[in-house]
A and B are shown apart, each in its own frame.
Chain A
């Protein structure tokens, strides 16, 4: 041991004359790296920040700036809409901060806000029940490994890796067989049994030392006791991470409602927003911002959990 240490120190001494030069290179490279990172950061932030600031523009300011773009979409010809600028004028900061869009959305025409609640009623049950179902399944997967369970777990992984284009077809067939197409349940029920959270939770639960379980068993604890008093408390932060990931995924869903719902009234805001865009840009911006609020708050409040969740999911192997 000491031999190695001696060796290291002599090496360090030999390197010393070159130290100064290396330091300058170091500072330069740091500046370069920061420049690259800041460039990327601007690109990444720009669309979101832009949406937020522009939602505070008044309707006239928006049509003056972007009328050229959005009149072409919904209304043919002039369509009664006034636009002034020939070129599209991208403006980050509004000339005059106005809350008129928000007051319209919140008070004058609440029908858009109803779609927001559509989203909530889809996503909340999915998050809660998917976690409940997955916690139980992961407990069983983590406690005992049998051949049957290994196969089932493998099937879950394959299922997790399948894109919507594959899984929506079986979902559609069952939903139509059960007669729940075009109802809330058509999306909620398949969502509850999505194997994604089983995968992450099992990976975490397998790390819980079996000695803890054995100690509890010696004290006479049954499976339910071990599950609720050892596994669930230990997984609390992982459960939270998974909940955030599932929430973000379903809050942003587009494919499922388009296929499984035919009635546009039932659409969550994640789909319905594109339909407002065609009509009134200002209102659409305000709703877009309102729709961002829950995930963004969740993110700012619990970023570390989210990052843990992503890191856990980062490998197919145990």
Chain B
């Protein structure tokens, strides 16, 4: 009884003292795992509400994924002999897969950090009282809305050999570049990716920045903490979990740059623009289930490992804020 009252008190002043609510909330959560009779009844009654979703996810994602695992372990669908990891070894020996993996990996390694840093920079610049603030926000978010297919023509005009980008760099005394048919295609992909994704990331950072407790910042300012120091010592700590989430989202979106590359250059682009999705598409056309399945599994595992690392880093960084 006494405990109940104290938790109710904590909730009522929750907006003022956040730290006090947390341990209580954790406790109630833990209790409900123990399944009281009332909870069990509620779980039963609400089950029909989640049933469509669970059945759908099972049918279209989880069950077929077990089939994917099965396909990855057999030699072919008709004779179905168990071959262990042979398909995976084969896959890693495949030149097209190597190329796709290397390109996508390289692309993500440059584009994702750039996207995170640039969008954080824009969010910081907008995190103050400036004229036209919401107009800027709208403008930076607008590329996310525009379908990739709609502006492909413009990218073609810009990055053509006779296009404006070459004219601009000619002003600086540089030689014109065959953007789409050389190693520079990779730069085009990075630019297209940044253009499309920075706005989305920026919004996440803006909302995280506005959630940094103002009183802490004020105290720091009065103690003579400069803007730069305030950012690195205080704001960055509160941004840690957003940074890791934005990194994860950018990573996932970096696989979608295929869209722009495909719309620009078709099924078989120049070597450095051949992404994993190109590889998958071409494998789909060849109906090679073994190659497809093992590639999907390799990718899924890679994603899980990367996400786990990012979440772990986030936990380490954010831990001292919880107390």
Given contacts A33-B125, A69-B156, A165-B299, contact A140 B46 (CB under 8 A): yes
Given contacts A44-B199, A146-B39, A255-B258, contact A163 B303 (CB under 8 A): yes
Per-residue contact bits, chain B 249-293, to A (CB 8 Å; 1 contact, 0 not)? 000100110110011101000000000110011001000010011
Nearest residue in A to B262 (C-beta to C-beta)? A254
> Which chain A residues numbered 266 to 318 have a C-beta less than 8 Å away from chain B?
269-274, 277, 281, 284-285, 288-289, 291-292, 295-296, 298-299, 303, 306-307, 310-311, 313-317
Chain A interface residue bracket vs B: 35 or more
Least CB distance from A316 to B in Å reads 6
A173 touches B153 (CB 8 A): no
Q: Of B28-36, B79-87, B88-96, which binds chain A? A: B28-36
> Which chain B residues numbered 41 to 74 have a C-beta less than 8 Å away from chain A?
42-43, 45-50, 52-54, 56-57, 59-65, 67-68, 71
Q: Roughly how many angstroms separate A90 CA and B151 CA in the complex, as a whole number?
A: 15
Given contacts A51-B153, A173-B68, contact A141 B50 (CB under 8 A): yes
Per-residue contact bits, chain A 58-79, to B (CB 8 Å; 1 contact, 0 not)? 0000000010111000000000
A45 touches B139 (CB 8 A): yes
CB of A113 closer than 8 Å to a CB of B: no
Chain A positions within 8 Å of B155 at CB level: 47
CB of B24 closer than 8 Å to a CB of A: no
Q: Roughly how many angstroms separate A159 CA and B307 CA in the complex, as a whole number?
A: 12
CB of B130 closer than 8 Å to a CB of A: yes
**Total A-B Cβ pairs within 8 A:** 293
Chain A positions within 8 Å of B19 at CB level: none
- Mostly, the B contact residues are helix
A146 touches B43 (CB 8 A): yes
Given contacts A145-B32, A270-B148, A314-B207, contact A41 B49 (CB under 8 A): no
Chain A positions within 8 Å of B149 at CB level: 252, 254, 269-274, 288, 291
CB of B10 closer than 8 Å to a CB of A: no
A169 touches B292 (CB 8 A): yes
CB of A198 closer than 8 Å to a CB of B: yes
CB of B138 closer than 8 Å to a CB of A: yes
B277 touches A164 (CB 8 A): yes
A254 touches B259 (CB 8 A): yes
Given contact pairs A37-B136, A40-B140, A69-B160, a sample of 17 additional A-B residue pairs in the complex whose CB atoms are under 8 Å apart: A36-B125, A37-B122, A41-B139, A47-B143, A51-B154, A66-B157, A145-B29, A165-B280, A168-B284, A172-B292, A173-B289, A193-B59, A222-B45, A252-B148, A254-B262, A255-B259, A259-B280
A-B contact pairs, 9 of them (CB 8 A): A37-B126, A44-B142, A47-B154, A69-B157, A144-B46, A145-B29, A172-B284, A173-B67, A314-B204
Q: Which residues from chain B sit less than 8 Å from chain A, CB to CB?
A: 29, 32-33, 35, 39, 42-43, 45-50, 52-54, 56-57, 59-65, 67-68, 71, 122, 125-126, 128, 130-131, 136-158, 160, 162-164, 167, 195, 198-200, 203-204, 206-208, 222, 241-242, 245-246, 248, 252, 255-256, 258-259, 262-264, 266, 276-277, 280-281, 284, 289, 292-293, 295-296, 299-300, 303-304, 307, 311
Q: Which residues from chain A sit less than 8 Å from chain B, CB to CB?
A: 8, 11-12, 30, 33-34, 36-37, 40-41, 43-45, 47-48, 50-51, 66, 68-70, 87-88, 90, 133-134, 136-137, 139-141, 143-147, 149-150, 152, 155-156, 158-159, 161-174, 177, 189-190, 192-193, 195, 198, 222-223, 227, 248, 251-252, 254-255, 258-259, 269-274, 277, 281, 284-285, 288-289, 291-292, 295-296, 298-299, 303, 306-307, 310-311, 313-317
